[in-house]
Amino acid sequence: MDRLRDALKGVAKELAKSIHPGTVLGLGSGSTVATLLEELSPLVLAKTKTVAGVPTSTQIEMVATRCGIELAPFKGGVDLVLDGADQVDQGLNLIKGGGGALLKEKVVMGSARSTVIVAAENKFVRRLCDNGVRVPVEVFPMARESAKVRLSMLGGVPEERLMPKGYPYFTENGNIILDTLFEPADNPRDLEVRIKSTPGVAEVGIFTFKPITVYKLGTDGSFEVLKTHD
């Protein structure tokens, strides 16, 4: 974690250059984003005095408050999203939702002028769903069983996310998550659309937004910048 934090310190210095007074940040969720905010906030606050962020979960809301970032309501758009990823393919498509905040994350990311993703190098693969990584699918509770059937028809193997003691996991939106195993995806955008068309599905954890900038964090404390513009 120390070397990962060193990489995030370097990323924070780069990002701070592009954050100015009035910039509204979209704040994704997860431990990597939390650490990035801890490194970024002092640099930005020293320059702009105040910075506003739209949180996508209670977890990141607490981190942002602790870091001195002013919480802002979502008004239909943000300037820059900072987020992590559970998996990144060679086309910079993402699997997200391990923390359960995929619906809010996708709403905010879909409204952003620009998007920055930070992810450790072990999250990078050739195709999404490589190595058995499952796709989180957020589902309205009434559709629990019917969605499982439809996802199975799409070639998936859905597994309902549970709490440690076996109780159903509910998102902050009151929905359940079906973590679904698929064959590695040659066309993640098509898979995203097909899953999203399933009745009862609120959102799917495949993110194919472009353009996007991804910071690949090395185990030696370095980072690599990857971009796509299409």
> With DSSP H G I counted as helix, E B as strand and the rest as coil, what are the percentages for the chain, rounded to 5?
35, 30, 35
Q: Is 121 marked active-site?
A: no
Catalytic residue among 105, 138, 192, 203: 105
Edge-first strand order for the sheet with 94-95 is 87-88, 94-95, 206-207
43-to-6, 13, 59, 220 alpha-carbon distances in Å: 15, 7, 22, 23
Taking the C-alpha atoms of residue 91 and residue 84, their distance in angstroms, rounded to an integer, is: 16
Task: Specify the DSSP element, H or E, that contains 3.
Answer: helix 2-16
Handedness of CA 206, 84, 17, 227 (dihedral sign): negative
Are 183 and 157 in contact by the 8 Å Cβ rule? The answer is no
Question: Could you give the residue numbers annotated as active site?
Answer: 105
